Structure 1
Amino acid sequence: MINWLWQANIWLSILSVLLLSLHPLLLKWYGARTLYSLWLLLPVALLLPLVPALPAQSPANLQPEFWLVLPNDLGFVPQPNAVTFVMLLLWATGTLLVFGYALLSQLRLQRQLNAGRHYRSGTLVCYRTDSALGPAIFGLLTPQLILPDNFLQRFDRQQRKLILQHERAHWQSADPQCNLLALILVALFWFNPLSWLAYRRYRADQELACDARVLQQQDNTTLVCYARTLLAAMQSAPPTVNLNLITQHYGALATMTERLTQLKQRRPLLKYLALSCALALLCAASLLQTTVAVTESQTTAAQTKTEITPIVRINPRYPVKAAEEGINGWVQLSFNIDAQGKVENLRVLDANPRAVFNDEALQAVAKWRYHPDHAGSNLTIQLAFELDTDSH
């Protein structure tokens, strides 16, 4: 878990730095809608550590290590890594705090809205509130629209139409659902400042993209009216208003200047750019994993000249039936050592007699632990089960 979290955090940081640093150029070249779609690359960071490496030849330790198993070998139980446990505990605490804050904010908002007037129109639930909330839309399965009580007085007919088109565009683009996914990323990587900076920029780009969708085929008269609508919404929304992490606010002051500047920029959506970038990332991750695997294999080739011994070794139990019948034997096993020093790809190469000691050998060796420095090593060991000796 800690290994996946660390690798995913590295990929998330790289992608965040690229999108944040190249943001002005990407916005100029590709427009708000295409730039917004590129933020979908960040969830790919969760998958990149899981991408398998391309097949590569890994040197094996061809000289098997011999271990003797006696009927009275009891073995020992490995002790958990205290540092890893504390790190996971701190990470889980921070993640739960972020989720808890988001949940409490949502419940507080819902309680405030339920106290006011609301009505349903088909699948849409519309809330009318006398507070500074709205216009805004939220919800995961069904849309829930927030409108201020003075909505009819604050905006003229054309402005009201544009506002509703804006909120409908948010819902049709699955922005509330994407905001939940973004919240999950922030909660998982709360310790990384880049995740918060990326989240803030993502939310701003979400509004830019929504503006672009609404004005995609509108004339200049509508564009001017839309700009006035943004200004009217901004002037009526105090800067202290803050909904929650997954609800967008139509008149957010922080991004208003940028939104007004971008209204005249109309560029087509490059639908497959984000998908192409995601596939390129997956290929790059696979190639990187392959490069790392080859490097580790070369290191392993030198390491195999010296003995690689486990730091935790569990001795197999001697099968009761074999002991009663006086059966001796051996089992030859092959396995790899992963990045955490654990045994993986464990399999039986040969055994004598067959199927007598295999299960006990597999169960025991699966619990062995090696130093992480030996990660990538491929080992072959032979466990000897003997009754007539008392020495190792």
Structure 2
Amino acid sequence: MKGGIKIDQFLTILVHCFKWILVTSLLSSIIAVFILFIRALFKKKLQPRWFVWLWLILVIRLMLPWVPESSFSLFNLFTPSKSDAFIPFQFNHTLYSEPSFVTLQPRTELDTNTTSENPTSSNFHPIIIIAAFIWLAVMVIGIIQLYRSNRQFSKCLDSSRSISELSILELFQKCKQKSNIHSNIRLMASPAIFSPALYGLWRPKLILPSKQLQEFSKKDLSFIFYHELAHFKHRDIGVNWLMTLMLLLHWFNPLLWYCYSRMREDQELSSDAFALSKIDGDALKDYGNTILKVIQSNMDLPQFPRATNFISTKSQMVRRMKMIRSFRKEKRRWFLVGIFLVAIVSAVSLSNAKIFSKSVTVSIPAGWEVFQQAEAEMIYVPKEQSEDGLSLTVVNYKMMETEMIETGSHTTITQLEHYKQSDNLESWLKRMRDSAARDGVDLQQITDPEIGPLLIDQNEAYLHVISFLYGPEPQAISLKGSGKYYDLDVIKQEGVYKIFQQMVSEVQKGSK
């Protein structure tokens, strides 16, 4: 039994993680398309470093498990309504569904052996479980492959040696000073690499290829130093590591892989622009020749997140040559445009859609009066209340959460916790039934064609019909009757049930 519970707990966590990854991937894809649009629009106007900053926003969004809601969020454009119960871009990435769209079979028997800790038996479709396992398996394979490739690259550097030539060390120090970098970066040479590379996240090393070292002039070396020091200054290795880890989680999303290649391209262009800003204008052609010399012999080598190098595709190389040939220092107005774009993209991307939910206002039915009113609960009773008691209650659990500290309502706390642990209305209802069963209460379930699933609690004293509204504002609408209202059929015949339907409809519509 304990083994079964552990397996179900693992499945629950796995499926929840997979669902979160799916929604995060969808939201991030929207941001990626937005950034690609800006990139295409301003590619010839802005310095490449601004696009690197925009890609960093995408990386941050992929990493964040939660972001605040904002009326400026990009995702407000994709919410179907600002006040209905279907809000797909809520911060916890839960897809809500209205009760009227849920069809459940009547429940006449309650399995008391099934507890709320076993949600996978009825709430998770086999397809979603299989998909989650495939996602996990491919991710693990990717992690292993990444580890092996980086391990292999590290072993290739075991033969590297520290460069001791005084002239090269002095030139390197001069380039560091001009780049305003004071960190300790070891300068090394290795016969195992064919392209200059900045390697290491914590103890960075600038590694030069031993075989080509003698072919580089001092001018070539200064260009290489400026370029790789730019990667260090921009923290490109750390950003690449983060993006690589995010790609392992979102391996199924081709758009993110495409964005990663564009990000690496922009990093190279940004480093080129940094290097060009440190050299004389007359040396632009020489810098381009140096880049071509390094790239052309290494275009087929792989890229590693732990290292930055000169490797580019043919199309990237063409773009780099165009940028080098037409390089100009950035004008002030485009500098301000870059700041503005980064600020705007940050504001609309690092937030979720704003839920414009207001307190639900309902008109008091004719012949009824407010028996009890609170911020989170409204109770209505007929004005001419007889011995046959009847009451209609609307409860907002989210509002009541703030009152729990004062009231200490065990029932409310339990119901609210069931809501928080549920993925949809069906799982919430199941948790409510299972919880009631542990207390010896047998909740029956029926499905009304207009309202949706209803829970019925019937004992010797009263009949209690409850409808739950699942969404950002969890609510319950209940009709409680005794005496002649003890029979559900009588309630329907008396017409009070229509009022109940009206109340549910009001709450579902919200304040529009």
Q: TM-score, normalised by structure 2?
A: 0.54
Q: Decide which of 218, 221, 229 is 2:290's aligned counterpart.
A: 229
Q: Does 1:98 align with 2:142?
A: yes
Indicate the residue corresponding to 1:77 in structure 2.
115
Asked if structure 2 preserves the Cα contact closer than 8 Å seen for 1:135 and 1:163, the reply is yes
Look up the match of 2:327. 265
CA distance in 1, matches of 2:312, 2:241: 19
Measure the CA separation in 1 of the matches of 2:405 and 2:282: 81
Q: Which amino acid aligns with 2:340?
A: L
* 1:15-164 to 2 correspondences below 5 Å: 15-46=31-62, 47=64, 50-52=67-69, 76-78=114-116, 79-80=119-120, 81-83=123-125, 84-118=128-162, 123-164=184-225
Find the aligned partners of 2:70 and 2:347 in 1 and give their Cα distance. 14
Give the 3 Å change call, closer, same or farther, for CA 334–184 of structure 1 in structure 2: same
Letter in 2 for 1:182: M
Q: Give the direction of change, closer, same or farther, for the CA distance of 1:249–1:361 in structure 2 (3 Å limit).
A: same
Give the residue type in structure 1 aligned to 2:417: A
Report the CA distance shift for 1:376/1:110 in structure 2 as closer, same or farther (over 3 A).
same
Residue in 1 aligned with 2:373?
none
Equivalent of residue 245 in structure 2, options 180, 184, 196: 184
Match of 1:366 among 395, 401, 417: 417
In structure 1, C-alpha distance between the alignment counterparts of 2:204 and 2:339, rounded to whole Å: 27
CA contact (8 A) 2:226 2:278 kept: no
- State the distance in 1 between where 2:289 and 2:41 align: 27
Residues 154, 5 of structure 1: alpha-carbon distance in 2 compared, 3 angstrom cutoff: same
* Aligned equivalent of 1:378: 474
Amino acid at match of 2:68: V
Q: What is the CA-CA distance between 1:230 and the residue it aligns to? A: 0.8
Structure 1, unaligned stretches of length 5 or more?
Answer: 60-72, 302-331, 337-343, 385-392
The 3-state SS of whatever aligns with 1:272 is helix
Change in CA separation of 1:262 and 1:50 when aligned onto 2, cut-off 3 Å: same
Range with greater deviation from structure 2 (125-134 or 147-156): 125-134
Cα pair distance change 1:347/1:76, threshold 3 Å: farther
CA separation of 1:204 and 1:139: change in aligned 2, threshold 3 A: same
- Map of 2:228 onto structure 1: 167
SS of 2:355's equivalent in the other structure is helix
Shift of 1:115: 3.2
Are 2:261 and 1:200 equivalent residues in the alignment?
yes
For 2:345 and 2:35, the matched residues in 1 are separated by 14
Closer/same/farther in 2, CA of residues 249 and 363 from structure 1, 3 Å limit: same
- The aligned residue for residue 310 of structure 2 is 250
- Give the secondary structure class of the aligned counterpart of 1:40: helix
How far, CA to CA, are the matches of 1:136 and 1:185 in structure 2?
23
Residue deviations 1:282-328 (CA, integer Å, cap 9, x gap): 58x44x3325x57xx99x99xxxxxxxxxxxxxxxxxxxxxxxxxxx
Compare 85-94 and 206-215 and name the one that shifted more. Answer: 85-94
* Residue type at the aligned position of 1:375: G
Shift, 1:170, TM fit: 0.8
User: Per the alignment, do residues 142 and 7 of structure 1 end up closer, same or farther by CA in structure 2, a change over 3 Å counting?
Assistant: same
Amino acid in structure 2 at the alignment position of 1:36: V
Displacement after TM superposition at 1:5 (Å): 2.5
Q: Percent identity?
A: 22
Q: CA RMSD in A?
A: 4.0
Give the SS at the match of 1:240: coil
CA offsets 1:182-204 (integer angstroms, 9 cap, x no match): 21221221111000000011101
1:240 corresponds to which of 300, 305, 310: 300
The 8 Å contact of residues 156 and 192 in structure 2, kept in 1 or not, is answered as: no
For 1:34 and 1:170, the matched residues in 2 are separated by: 14
Displacement after TM superposition at 1:260 (Å): 0.7
Give the Cα–Cα distance (whole angstroms) in 1 for the partners of residues 201 and 344 of structure 2.
27
Instruction: Please give the alpha-carbon distance, in whole angstroms, between the structure 2 residues aligned to 1:209 and 1:261.
Output: 13
Q: Could you tell me how far apart the structure 1 residues matched to 2:32 and 2:162 are?
A: 40
Alpha-carbon distance in structure 1 between the residues aligned to 2:163 and 2:415: 64
User: Which ranges in structure 2 are unaligned for 5 or more consecutive residues?
Assistant: 1-16, 72-81, 86-110, 170-182, 363-393, 428-468, 481-512
Q: Distance in 2 between matches of 1:19 and 1:347?
A: 40
Name which structure has the greater RCO, CA cutoff 8 Å, separation 6+: 1
**Once the 2 structures are TM-superposed, how far is the Cα of residue 21 of structure 1 from its aligned partner?**
4.3
Distance 1:223 1:145 in 2: 23
After TM superposition, give the deviation of residue 51 of structure 1 in Å.
Answer: 2.1
d(CA) in 1 for partners of 2:159, 2:270: 33
Question: 1-side partners of 2:219 and 2:405: how far apart?
Answer: 80
Alignment partner, residue 276 of structure 1 = 343
**Normalising by structure 1, what TM-score?**
0.69
Is 1:214 the counterpart of 2:260 in the alignment? Answer: no
Q: Aligned in 2, Cα 1:150/1:115: closer, same or farther, shift over 3 Å?
A: closer
Query: What per-residue deviation string (whole Å, max 9, x for no partner) do you get for residues 123-165 of structure 1?
Result: 3234422234320112112212221113432211111111111
What SS class does the counterpart of residue 154 from structure 1 fall into?
A: coil
What is residue 329 of structure 1 aligned with on the other side?
none
Shift of the alpha carbon at 1:43?
2.4
Shift of 1:231: 1.4
